[in-house]
Homo-oligomer: A and B are copies of this chain.
């Protein structure tokens, strides 16, 4: 909403200022599209209220592959939503404070870090606070539009500063003319990008969820249309001239050093004056709303990631919730990729917007097509109210055809302006997700229990791995003794003759009853001699299970883990490749872990209210826990 009019005008200006007279027609086309899409999504929300959005609809009705196409489109799109919104937000801040222009990229990356941090801490409780900037934005832009129109009616139209600059241009050929109009339309279509977010957010609405979500969708759509028309009208009547590159504006001396003010800023300056309170209010609320738009992607991306992980198309780690029930890995991944893109594109809105909305329209088109299939199946299966279903199908079919047309237009007009990158990345994402799915499927088949599954190990030998005579080693030894293994020995791999001798002495001094076996290692390597020894032991004593006890340091700060456990982890990893071996980690809590305990506990939602004790579900009486016999 905040950038759609600007990009529309910018593209038209490429053909010369005379082209701006086509702006109302292009804007009208955008408005019609918006109406159709809103109507289509009202149907989708009703049919699929679970919040899966286009991905779910396409997956269920058009099959796995269409679902994955939508998923890859949406993933790309969420990333670009963050990049475009943040770039546009920074643009508006710079319009109010032009001296910040050299810090454009730094500010953009800074906002992404702030957004990621907020979302990592969890925002569910405070989402009401997010409504306020939206109301302020709608209110203040509304005031601006009304003021502007009143001044126009009174014969005192607001005139933008840039109205004095002209634009150099060649008269476009007929084909270029049509292409320009289509490109302007494609750029204006970025006004539609909020719709998907509402469809995905249905479960978060108050009951009746579907009704409320539909009402919100229509309300948002209506407001978007009013604001869009209002802003375009004011931009045209105040003669804002906005060019792709600042120095395309003829007559502007400072073009090389000063940034172009955003269209919103120019209108606000024209209507209220450049240093008035209202000017800064418009800029502040615009910037805030844009950062909020980025925030919707920070909600949507991790959620989609977790849905994909649940369906086994993405790494399971994306469905891991952190301490605060946030899908932290999704938040981090989104923040990282968006920051990289903003740096690569130097937070240049006009270039970024070329990549944008392709993903939106891919998912629009496939989502609506899926809905058509859905309604058709309902009709075939017989349903209560066929007339209504026919109507719904007609609406979604119109939506599908229109959005498909727009997709073709967007692709043609944007492909050579950078959008090819999106078309290069989407198939890669698609293939990666498919491969992940096949991989998980294969692993699941491999580990499924079947008739060939046979176990029945016997033999129980334990080894305590001893490096130096230190408390953690003695604790591991203590635990190993308590576990009462059939046989137990301490094993030391000698990489330094003197240290091994000292260890033997200390072992004797401490009067430890467990035998200490010392294995020579000529190449300062611990794991290989140990594994050879275990294999030798198993050859002598039959295929026994060998439990290797090793101390594991537990640290209190993340940086401490850079200083510990690396050698132990490497040894453990190699031991686990050895048949019959299980590795027992005996924790040793370093002093710094006190910090972990002193840290105030973060309550889970509802926990404080209920104070849930552990609840063992005992459906039938259990036999007393004792050593069982196993077939």
Interface residue ranges, A against B (CB under 8 Å):
315-317, 320-321, 436, 439-440, 442-443, 446-449, 453, 455-460, 469-472, 474-475, 477-479, 481-489, 494, 500, 504, 506, 510-515, 517-520, 522-525, 528-529, 532-533, 536, 544-545, 547, 549, 552, 554, 560, 562-564, 566-567, 570, 572, 576-577, 581-591, 593, 596, 604-607, 612-619, 622-623, 625-631
Contact = CB atoms under 8 A, between A and B. Distances in A.
A190 B627 CA distance: 74
Nearest to A531: B614
Contacts of A453: 471, 474
Given A321-B524, A486-B484, A589 B577 contact: yes
A176 B203 CA distance: 73
Contacts of A321: 524
11 contacts: A315-B566, A316-B563, A449-B506, A455-B474, A487-B626, A488-B625, A512-B630, A554-B576, A582-B586, A584-B584, A584-B585
Given A515-B622, A515-B623, A554-B576, A532 B614 contact: yes
B562 A317 contact: yes
B524 A628 contact: no
Contacts of A545: 479, 482-483
Contact of A456 (B478, B506, B588): B478
A630 B513 contact: yes
Given A517-B616, A587-B577, A625-B488, A481 B440 contact: no
Contact of A522 (B443, B566, B612): B612
Contacts of A630: 478, 481, 512-514
> Copy number of this protein in the oligomer?
2
A320 B481 contact: no
Contacts of A512: 628, 630
A518 B617 contact: yes
A533 B282 CA distance: 56
Given A439-B563, A446-B590, A460-B482, 7 more contacts: A442-B591, A487-B627, A519-B617, A523-B607, A536-B614, A549-B582, A554-B577
Contacts of A449: 469-471, 474, 506, 510
A572 B586 CA distance: 11
B458 A471 contact: no
Contacts of A320: 566-567, 570
Contacts of A486: 484, 627
B585 A576 contact: yes
A534 to B, nearest CB: 9
B483 A470 contact: no
A628 B481 contact: yes
Given A455-B474, A478-B457, A545-B483, A577 B563 contact: no
* Best-buried of A481, A483, A513, A586 by chain B (most CB within 10 Å): A483
> Which 9 pairs between the two chains have the least Cβ-Cβ distance?
A513-B628, A532-B614, A455-B478, A576-B587, A317-B566, A457-B482, A520-B615, A518-B617, A482-B545
Nearest to A596: B577
Given A533-B614, A582-B587, A488 B628 contact: yes
Contacts of A440: 563
A596 to B, nearest CB: 7
Contacts of A479: 457, 545, 582
A483 B483 contact: yes
A457 B607 CA distance: 34
Nearest to A584: B584
Nearest to A533: B614
A517 B482 contact: no
A625 B566 contact: no
Contact of A613 (B477, B532, B584): B532
B584 A547 contact: yes
A456 B606 CA distance: 41
Contacts of A615: 519-520, 529
Contacts of A572: 585
A462 to B, nearest CB: 8
Contacts of A626: 487-488
A500 to B, nearest CB: 8
A627 B481 contact: yes
Contacts of A607: 523
A554 B615 CA distance: 33
